[in-house]
Amino acid sequence: MTLPYPLPRETRSTGPQAFDGVSVTFGPFAFRIFDTADVIVQVKHSGDAEWSDTEAVTVSKEDPDEAYDYCTVTFDAVHPATSQYQVLARRLHERSMALSRGNGLSLPELEKETTKQGTILQELRRDLTTALFGFFRTLRSPFGELLTPIPPAADRAEKVLGFDASGQPVAMVPGTADAQAVADTYPRRNAGNTAWVAKTPAEVRVDIGALSSAGGAVTTANLASDYDTLADAIAAPVPAAQNFVRTAGYAAVGDGGGALYKRGVSLTTGGFQSADGAFWDLAEDERTPQMFGAAGVGSNDDSAALADWLSTGGALFMPPGIYKCKGLSVFDIPADTTIRGVRGASIWDFSDRTGQSDDVAKFLVGALGSVGTDVYVTADVDAGSVAVSINTSSFSEGDLVILHSDDQYIDTSGPNGAKYGEYAIVDEIIDSSQMRLNVPMQETYTVSANARICKVEAIRGIVIDGITFIGQGRLGDGDDGGDRGLGFTYCRDVTVSNCDFIDIDQEQLTFRSCYNFLAENTYHYHSKYFSPSGTPGSDHPYELATRGTVQYQIRTSDCCAHGTIRGCVGDGGRHFFNTGTSYFDLDGVLPKTNGGMFGISRHVKIIDCSSKNTWHANYSTHNDADLVDFINCKALGSGIAGFNPRSSRIRLIGCQTNDAPQGFYLSGNPRNIEIVGCRAENVQGYIYALPVSGHDVEDIVIRDNNFYAATDGGITISLQGGTQTGVIDILNNNLQDTKTTGNGAPIRVLGAAANVNIIGNFSDGTDGGFHARIESDISKVTVIGNHFCNGIRPLTILSGVGTGLVYNNTQYNNTTSTLWSNAATVKAGANNEGDFGVSGPVANFYLRDTDDPNEAFTRIYSYSGTFIIDVDPNDNGGLSSSFRVRIDGVECFRVDAAGNLLIGTTTPGASKLVVNDDSIQINSPKTPASATDAGATGEIAWDESYIYVCTAPNTWRRAALSTW
């Protein structure tokens, strides 16, 4: 007999599993469950000591209808590959079904109940084993000994825990006689370092105090007496037996600069030399600028102290205060540095700075890694390949590298144009001349274009949180200069969160050739932009006139990879977010060196961000970005557009633009652009695609969007010259109240497009000549299932368009609704107006004759209960026949403009009916009752004996039939 609910030996859990950094759904797993509520999911992130339950996940059975089945889990967000998860079955038992059926048992329910109880036993055994393992990890008394409970919280607060003479726990106050209990057993080395000796109670009290303040850094050494200030400690001859010094302030007691120091061997940053010649190193786990002499009061120049503080790296804390930096000081961040502040209160202030960033060719605060010597490939590396032929002697597995060449990306030009380049990690050294990379290449790198690989010595592990950076604001009108704020170059694993950037006039937060980075919950504000081309209060400047500082708020450039910009907010500036190539290395030398800082930014996501009041596009990708996603981002107020994708494989999903000339502006070199589920409102135009002349945009997808209240244009795709090889899909969009001028339309496509699909759109309200306008050199167009209402005309397809189909479209309440204008060789059929009904001209179909490029209209409609086929004799394209029926290309019959019905012929005769055949067949016989039977003039009938002809109303004549 088959076991309906099998239960193998198992722990009913997955054990620790690694996330892959990409997926959100995992499973199915190798154990079955009865209910999804029986499953818990735990996660453990890098640095976490323990597992924690998570509810940000959905558990699903493979087959929801199965009572007992395997399951999968789907997390609400992607987790990094450094994190882990585990799935555990943990059923809280219940009884919801009786086992008895009449006088017996229900065997299916008994089988199910037995398995349910078995699963619970397995899960209890697993959890008990885990709990015991946790118990054995803890400190505990030996077997047979019983410790009394530790003192309650109130008794042990601000005390240290020790043990009395009987070994029982006691709470002691540091530095008092409470420490007497351990004095005789607290060891130290004697003066000759030959034996362990007991300390005096006074010595014990001093050492316990040191332990409590140093976080365990002090072990068994003596601690010197406290000094008020650093100057006091420097002036003091510290006894040789003392290994630690503590101050109550830097320049004055209580100024925040007090610190613990330990004996060192040389003078180090943040340390000092005492009067006896000894060196003392700063021993604080988390250091503040005050420990290096910063005042943080908004008047002193704290530059020198901040530089020393920053150079020590590690854990750094900037307490609330205003830290002024004057002159031309810039600051370098070392690897593995965390800078922590209090948002809105920890202020790094450059507003009184002298000069600008270009004067020293560096960011105000930044980290700069380096690249090794280029090694040239020995064979072409094709797109999609991971194998590289190269001398591998200078590489190791795990190296972070950039593969780049002299080829220009897309069609940019000039010494600062983007060149091919992308990040990878060396996955395997195959032999001395071959290695394999961890990801397929996006481009082809050729020997002829000097394809080469350089190793990146990245600055890693930087975290900046809760700092406000303030700059000088606008430095001058028409002066292309200013401050560049926080910048990272050749860095890896960087996080900037909860920071504010105010009036840093040029670049505020920049990632350049960085790998794996995050900007989260940052705020950006730029001072008002001024251009001599426009007076205050006029429109934002559109022309490339002499202008002020460029003003970028968040920027990625030069071969960035795997970055996320999330939950950030911008106000003012040229762009809130953009990509671009660098004009300067900003490594202390202004000119950009050949071979450095080249490459394409890829795999960057901008999520849940908001930007307002930019004088160019709120969000933009220049001609050096690929595979960039904008997700749920908002743009409010712009001088050009909310979004300006100019490069390749850019997706805009769930984004929104309000109050801008264009909602979405595809300029430069856009290629393979998707705009899905977005919204534009109160704009001049919803979408405007105007690539450079001759550029192939390949695919453009505009789908499932909502557009409202444009003042001068809808969706306009204008391709200037060249050949577009992909598809332009304009699908299922809702366009409401679209105003236009000239030849504008809610949907307009013109230029050399290969394949245009306009399907399922709803255009309601326009003052343009047509709801949709298709023109110029489009090869193929499909217009299907659209609804055009409350305008003038529904659709025009101008000459020059090749082939295609117009089908199943609906129009309603257009002031000139009789024409589906079609001057091209496009097939059309079954387009209608309103609902097909009994009375009134409520259904019009417009048919296209494909034998001639001229349009011939036939309207099929109902009127006053009559079904009418109406051929317009004044617009029949010069054809001799206005209506014809063909099957498989063979004409069956036609009705010409004179009303002649021609069967098998195109030549009219003396009769209105001309049949080009040798017989006419009337299938059914009819015998008039008499010569005066009812009949119409011209009616013909037959039976077995006669042929009957009605020669006048109700007047029949007949002729007899005979055989031969």
Count of CB atoms situated within 10 Å of the CB of 195 = 8
Better-predicted residue by pLDDT, 763 or 417: 763
> What count of Cα atoms within 13 Å lies in the side-chain half-sphere of residue 245?
30
> What are the contacts of 28-32 at 24+ separation with CB within 8 A?
28/62, 28/70, 28/71, 28/72, 29/70, 29/71, 29/72, 29/87, 30/70, 31/70, 31/89, 32/5, 32/6, 32/68, 32/69, 32/70, 32/71
**Confidence at residue 75, expressed as pLDDT on a 0 to 100 scale:** 95
Model confidence over 13-63: pLDDT tens digits?
Answer: 999 999 999 999 999 999 999 999 989 999 999 888 888 999 999 999 999
Q: What is the largest CA-CA distance in the chain?
A: 153
Q: Are 369 and 489 in contact (CB under 8 A)?
A: yes
Of the pLDDT bands very low, low, confident and very high (cuts 50, 70, 90), residue 100 is: confident
Residue 88 CB partners (closer than 8 Å, separation 6+): 12, 13, 14, 39, 40, 41, 42, 123, 126
H/E run at residue 231 = helix 230-235
Q: What percent of the chain has pLDDT over 90?
A: 50
Q: pLDDT band at residue 876, thresholds of 50, 70 and 90?
A: very low
Convert the pLDDT of each residue in 326-355 to its tens digit: 988 899 999 999 999 999 999 999 999 888
Q: Is it true that 312-369+458-580+601-616 and 371-455 share their CATH fold?
A: no
User: Is the model's pLDDT at 244 over the cut of 80?
Assistant: yes
Question: For the chain, how far is it from start to end, CA to CA, in angstroms?
Answer: 86
Please compute, for residue 404, the number of CA atoms within 13 A of its CA located in the half-sphere on the CB side: 29
The three-state (H, E, C) secondary structure of 630-658, written as one string: EECCEEEEECCEEEEECCEEEEEECCEEE
Q: Is the pLDDT of residue 240 over 50?
A: yes
The CATH superfamily of 312-369+458-580+601-616 is: Single-stranded right-handed beta-helix, Pectin lyase-like (2.160.20.10)
* pLDDT at residue number 554: 97
**Residue 442 pLDDT greater than 90, yes or no:** yes
**C-alpha torsion sign, points 761, 762, 767, 770:** positive
Q: What are phi and psi of 535, to 5 degrees?
A: -80, 160
- Of the listed ranges 135-149, 317-331, 338-352, 539-553, the least confidently predicted one is 539-553
Contact present, 696 and 668 (Cβ < 8 Å): no
223-232, 401-410, 427-436, 854-863: least confident range: 854-863
Residues 215-224: tens digit of each pLDDT: 444 443 444 4
What's the whole-model pTM score?
0.68
Q: In whole angstroms, give the CA distance from residue 960 to residue 964.
A: 13
- Select from 293, 297, 345 the least CA-distant residue to 318: 345
Angstrom CA distances, 296 to 114, 292, 326, 485, 646, stand at 70, 11, 13, 19, 44
Q: What is the pLDDT of residues 112-131, one digit of tens each?
A: 788 788 888 878 877 877 77
Residue 903 pLDDT > 80: yes
Average pLDDT, the chain: 82
pLDDT reported for residue 436: 97
Question: Would you place residue 174 in the very low, low, confident or very high pLDDT band (cuts 50, 70, 90)?
Answer: low
For residue 538, what pLDDT band results from cuts at 50, 70 and 90? very low
* Cα separation values, 675 from 369, 462, 629, 732, 818, Å: 36, 34, 10, 12, 33
Confidence of residue 539 (pLDDT cuts 50, 70, 90): very low
Model pLDDT, residue 722 = 64
For residue 682, is pLDDT > 80? Answer: yes
Residue found by looking up tokens 């593995």 in the block = 336
* Mean of pLDDT values over 405-426: 75
pLDDT at 906 exceeding the cut of 90: no
Are 490 and 515 in contact by the 8 Å Cβ rule? The answer is no
Closest alpha carbon to 896 in 856, 927, 953, 929: 856
Which residues are CB-neighbours of 924 under 8 A, at least 6 positions away? none
Give the per-residue pLDDT at 86: 94
Confidence of residue 203 (pLDDT cuts 50, 70, 90): low
pLDDT score recorded for residue 157: 77
Q: Strand, helix or coil at 307?
A: helix
Question: Which range, of 49-58, 70-79, 476-485, 782-791, averages the lowest pLDDT?
Answer: 476-485
Contacts of 312 (CB under 8 A, 6+ apart): 269, 270, 282, 287, 334
3-state secondary structure of 304: helix
Other beta carbons within 10 Å of 506? 26
Closest CA to 577 of 517, 643, 513: 643
In which band, very low, low, confident or very high, does the pLDDT at 358 lie, cut at 50, 70 and 90?
A: confident
Positive or negative, the CA dihedral 605, 573, 648, 736 is positive
For residues 272 and 282, what is the distance between their CA atoms, to the nearest angstrom?
8
What is the structure's pLDDT at 895?
Answer: 83
Could you tell me the residue ranges of all domains in the chain?
17-136, 156-289, 312-369+458-580+601-616, 371-455, 884-915, 923-964
Q: Which residue has the higher pLDDT, 860 or 434?
A: 434
Report the percent of the chain where pLDDT is more than 70: 80
pLDDT higher than 80, residue 262 = yes
pLDDT at res. 588: 54
* pLDDT at res. 898: 80
pLDDT at position 549: 58
Categorize the per-residue pLDDT at 660 as very low, low, confident or very high, splitting at 50, 70 and 90. Answer: very high
C-beta separation of 396 from 438 below 8 A: no
Give mean pLDDT, residues 554-578.
94
pLDDT of residue 211: 47
pLDDT in tens, 584-608: 655 555 444 444 556 889 999 999 9
Average pLDDT for 372-376: 93
pLDDT at 873 over 70: no
pLDDT in tens, 740-765: 988 999 999 998 888 999 999 999 99
pLDDT at position 574: 85
Q: Which pLDDT value is given to residue 98?
A: 73
User: CA 803 to CA 774: how far, in whole Å?
Assistant: 12
According to the model, what pLDDT value does residue 696 have? 86
Closest CA to 781 of 718, 727, 862: 727
Domain spanning 371-455 has what CATH number? 2.40.30
Checking if the pLDDT of 82 tops 80, the result is yes
